[in-house]
């Protein structure tokens, strides 16, 4: 299972773009990159998943370079409600067995 | 479509007792995962069930066990509760090993 490394915390002002980078040097060929968001005392919420290049949805964008050893979650124009912990996970999207390792994530604080 | 539901929301037990936590997955999802999140820590993987079978287990003692029923709902049982078992227990469901969707969790307090 590929290990991921993210910053422990980040601060931002409302309205700014926030980029959270995750490094996963040992990513395997079949691994996908998935990001979750978690508010205190709630279950994590799926944000976005990608395999390579760029993925965009209504919430965020995910940028993955060609070597796939890192990925960047981009949150456009953050608001106070985006204050949460963000987890980067790497794992297979197949029928083989694996366990997701959430780690400690990145704690994002958005202030006015 | 209903999301993942967990019950009870809160559970208070004393040391040495047993706790049973329940999870109903999203309709059509066959895999159920259990995680433990102690205060201020990340999620620790506990158990993974798929099609009624235990597929994988995290680094937890045998007093943490569970099962998955024919309707894909699941129970997590924790025997001989210890103070350090106090945590938020989260259940997630998915189709096969695709994206996991989480419930709101059960807050277990061991006194």
Choose the most confident range, by mean pLDDT, from A39-53, A83-97, B90-104: A39-53
Contact status of A39 with chain B (Cβ, < 8 Å): no
Domain boundaries, chain A: 9-111
Q: How far is A77 from chain B (nearest CA, A)?
A: 25
| A80 in Cβ contact with A108 (< 8 Å) | no
Domain boundaries, chain B: 5-96
Homologous superfamily in CATH for domain A9-111: Immunoglobulins (2.60.40.10)
For residue B57, list its beta bridge partners.
B47
Q: pLDDT category, A93, cuts 50, 70, 90?
A: low
Flag whether pLDDT at A100 surpasses 60. yes
Q: What is the pLDDT of residue A99?
A: 58
- Reading across the β-sheet that carries B19-24, which strands appear in turn? B5-7, B19-24, B74-78, B64-68
Percent residues over pLDDT 70 in chain A: 89
Q: How far is A9 from chain B (nearest CA, A)?
A: 13
Q: How far is A7 from chain B (nearest CA, A)?
A: 14
Rounded alpha-carbon distances, angstroms, from residue A112 to A75, A84, A85, A106, B75 = 16, 15, 18, 19, 43
Concatenate the DSSP letters of all residues of B5-54 into one string: EEE-SEEEE-TT--EEEEEEPPTT--EEEEEEE-TTS--EEEEEEETTEE
Q: Do residue A42 and residue B4 have CB atoms under 8 angstroms apart?
A: no
Q: For chain B, how many residues are written?
A: 111
**Mean pLDDT rounded to a whole number for chain A:** 89
Give the C-alpha separation, A92 to B55, whole Å: 15
Contact status of B72 with chain A (Cβ, < 8 Å): no
Query: Which residue did the predictor score with more confidence, A51 or A31?
Result: A51
Does the N-terminal peptide bond of residue A70 adopt cis geometry, omega within 30 degrees of 0? no
In sign, the C-alpha dihedral spanning A81, B99, A107, A59 is: negative
Flag whether pLDDT at A30 surpasses 80. yes
Q: Which CATH number fits domain B5-96: 2.60.40.10, 3.50.50.60, 1.10.8.10, 3.30.1490.20?
A: 2.60.40.10
Give me the tens of pLDDT residue by residue for chain B, a chain 111 residues long.
Answer: 679 999 999 999 999 999 999 999 999 999 999 999 998 778 888 999 999 999 888 889 999 999 999 999 999 999 999 999 999 999 999 986 678 899 999 999 999
């Amino acid at each position: 299972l590929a290990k991921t490394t993210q910053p422990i915390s980040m601060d931002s002002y409302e309205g700014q773009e926030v980029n959270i980078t995750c490094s996963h040097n040992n990513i395997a060929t079949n691994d996908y990159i998935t990001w979750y968001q978690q508010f205190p005392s709630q279950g994590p919420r799926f944000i976005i998943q990608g395999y390579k290049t760029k993925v965009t949805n209504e919430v965020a964008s995910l940028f993955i370079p060609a070597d796939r050893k890192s990925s960047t979650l981009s949150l456009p124009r953050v608001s106070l409600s985006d204050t949460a912990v963000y987890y980067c996970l790497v794992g297979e999207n197949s029928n083989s067995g694996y366990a997701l390792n959430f780690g400690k994530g990145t704690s994002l604080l958005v202030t006015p | 479509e209903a999301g993942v539901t967990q019950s009870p929301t809160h559970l208070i037990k004393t040391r040495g007792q047993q706790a049973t936590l329940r999870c109903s997955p999203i309709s059509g999802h066959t895999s159920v995962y259990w995680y433990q999140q102690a205060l201020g820590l990340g999620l620790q993987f506990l158990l993974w069930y798929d099609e009624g079978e235990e597929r994988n287990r995290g680094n937890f003692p045998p007093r943490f066990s569970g099962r998955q029923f024919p309707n894909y709902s699941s129970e997590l049982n924790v025997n001989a509760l210890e103070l350090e078992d106090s945590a938020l227990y989260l259940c997630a469901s998915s189709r096969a090993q695709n994206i996991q969707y989480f419930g709101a969790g059960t807050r277990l307090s061991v006194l």
